[in-house]
Structure 1
Amino acid sequence: MNAAPRGRDTAPSVAVTGLGVLSPGGSGVDALWRACERGTACFRTIEHFDVSRTGARIAGFVPADAPDVPAPGRPGRLPYLLHRATKDALADAEARTGRRGVPTALVLGSTDSGGCPSAEAWRDWRGGRSPNAGAGWTPYSAPAWDGPVIQVANASAAGATALGVGADLLRDGIAERVLVCGVDTVTETAYQGLASLRTLSPRGCRPFSTRRSGIRVSECAAALVLDSGSPHAYAHLRGWGGSNEAGQAARPDVGGVAKAIRRALRDARTEPEELGYINAHAAGTRHGDVAELRALEEVLGERLPRVPVVSTKAALGHCQGAAGTVEAIVTVLTLVRGEVLPTLGLEDRDPRWDHLNLGDKSPDHPPETAMTISCGLGGSNVAVVFGREA
Structure 2
Amino acid sequence: MSTAGAKVARAESVGVAETEADADRAPVVTGLGVLSPGGVGTEALWRACRSGDGEFREVTHFDVSRTGTRIAGFVPAEPGAPAPGEVARLPYLLHRAVMAALADARERTGVREVPTALVLGTTDSGGCPGTEVWRAWTEGNSPHPNAGWQPYGPPFADGPVVQVGNASAAGATALGVATDLLRDGVVERVVVCGVDTVTETAFHGLASLRTLNPRGCRPFSTRRAGIRISECGAAMVLERATAATTPGYARLRGWGSSNEASQAARPDYEGVAKAVRRALADARTEPGLLDYVNAHAAGTRHGDIAELRALDEVLGDRLPKVPVVSTKAALGHCQGAAGTVEAIMTVLTLARGEVLPTLGLEDRDPRWDHLNLGDRPPEAPPSVGMTISCGLGGSNVAVVFSRD
Give me the TM-score of the superposition, normalised by structure 1. 0.94
In structure 1, distance between residues paired with 2:160 and 2:66: 42
**Alpha-carbon contact 1:184-1:221 (below 8 Å) kept:** yes
In structure 2, distance between residues paired with 1:332 and 1:345: 23
Cα deviations by residue, 1:51-82 (Å, 9 ceiling, x for unpaired): 001111100000123x2100000000100110
Aligned to 1:37: 50
Say which of 342, 347, 355 aligns to 2:362.
347
**Matched residues, percent identical?**
74
In structure 1, distance between residues paired with 2:163 and 2:18: 26
In structure 1, distance between residues paired with 2:357 and 2:40: 21
**2:283 aligned with 1:271, yes or no?**
no
User: Cα gap change, 1:190/1:132 in structure 2, threshold over 3 Å: closer, same or farther?
Assistant: farther
**Alpha-carbon contact 1:76-1:137 (below 8 Å) kept:** no
Aligned to 1:22: 35
Say which of 163, 175, 188 aligns to 1:163.
175
User: Cα gap change, 1:54/1:7 in structure 2, threshold over 3 Å: closer, same or farther?
Assistant: farther
In structure 1, distance between residues paired with 2:130 and 2:224: 32
User: Cα gap change, 1:338/1:74 in structure 2, threshold over 3 Å: closer, same or farther?
Assistant: same
Aligned to 1:189: 201
**Alpha-carbon contact 2:139-2:154 (below 8 Å) kept:** no
Report the alpha carbon displacement of residue 126 of structure 1 after superposing the two structures with TM: 1.5
Tell me whether 298-307 or 91-100 shows the greater mean CA deviation. Answer: 91-100
What is the correspondence of 1:300-339 to structure 2 with a 5 Å cutoff?
300-339=315-354
Report the alpha carbon displacement of residue 130 of structure 1 after superposing the two structures with TM: 4.7
In structure 1, distance between residues paired with 2:123 and 2:350: 28
**Alpha-carbon contact 2:87-2:127 (below 8 Å) kept:** no
Say which of 250, 256, 260 aligns to 1:245.
260
Q: Which amino acid aligns with 2:68?
A: G
Report the alpha carbon displacement of residue 231 of structure 1 after superposing the two structures with TM: 1.1
In structure 1, distance between residues paired with 2:231 and 2:305: 25
Question: What value does the CA root-mean-square deviation take over the aligned residues?
Answer: 2.0
Aligned to 2:76: 63
Q: Which amino acid aligns with 2:173?
A: T
Say which of 137, 158, 163 aligns to 1:151.
163
Cα deviations by residue, 1:198-237 (Å, 9 ceiling, x for unpaired): 1000000000000000000000000000011121310000
In structure 1, distance between residues paired with 2:65 and 2:130: 24
Cα deviations by residue, 1:143-173 (Å, 9 ceiling, x for unpaired): 4433210000000000000000001100110
**Alpha-carbon contact 1:87-1:144 (below 8 Å) kept:** no
Local SS of the residue matching 1:150: strand
What is the correspondence of 1:194-273 to structure 2 with a 5 Å cutoff?
194-229=206-241, 230-273=245-288
In structure 2, distance between residues paired with 1:100 and 1:232: 16
Report the alpha carbon displacement of residue 114 of structure 1 after superposing the two structures with TM: 3.5
User: Cα gap change, 1:353/1:118 in structure 2, threshold over 3 Å: closer, same or farther?
Assistant: farther
Q: Which amino acid aligns with 1:56?
A: T
Give me the TM-score of the superposition, normalised by structure 2. 0.91
Aligned to 2:387: 372
**Alpha-carbon contact 1:237-1:385 (below 8 Å) kept:** yes
**Alpha-carbon contact 1:163-1:180 (below 8 Å) kept:** yes
Aligned to 2:10: none
Local SS of the residue matching 1:218: coil
**Alpha-carbon contact 1:56-1:200 (below 8 Å) kept:** yes
**Alpha-carbon contact 1:19-1:329 (below 8 Å) kept:** yes
Report the alpha carbon displacement of residue 134 of structure 1 after superposing the two structures with TM: 12
Aligned to 2:123: 111
Report the alpha carbon displacement of residue 98 of structure 1 after superposing the two structures with TM: 1.3
**Alpha-carbon contact 1:122-1:131 (below 8 Å) kept:** no
Aligned to 1:142: 154
In structure 1, distance between residues paired with 2:190 and 2:283: 19
Aligned to 2:9: none
Tell me whether 44-53 or 100-109 shows the greater mean CA deviation. Answer: 100-109
- 5+ residue gaps, structure 2: 1-15
Local SS of the residue matching 1:284: coil
User: Cα gap change, 1:120/1:203 in structure 2, threshold over 3 Å: closer, same or farther?
Assistant: farther
In structure 1, distance between residues paired with 2:194 and 2:77: 19
Local SS of the residue matching 2:61: coil
Local SS of the residue matching 2:125: coil
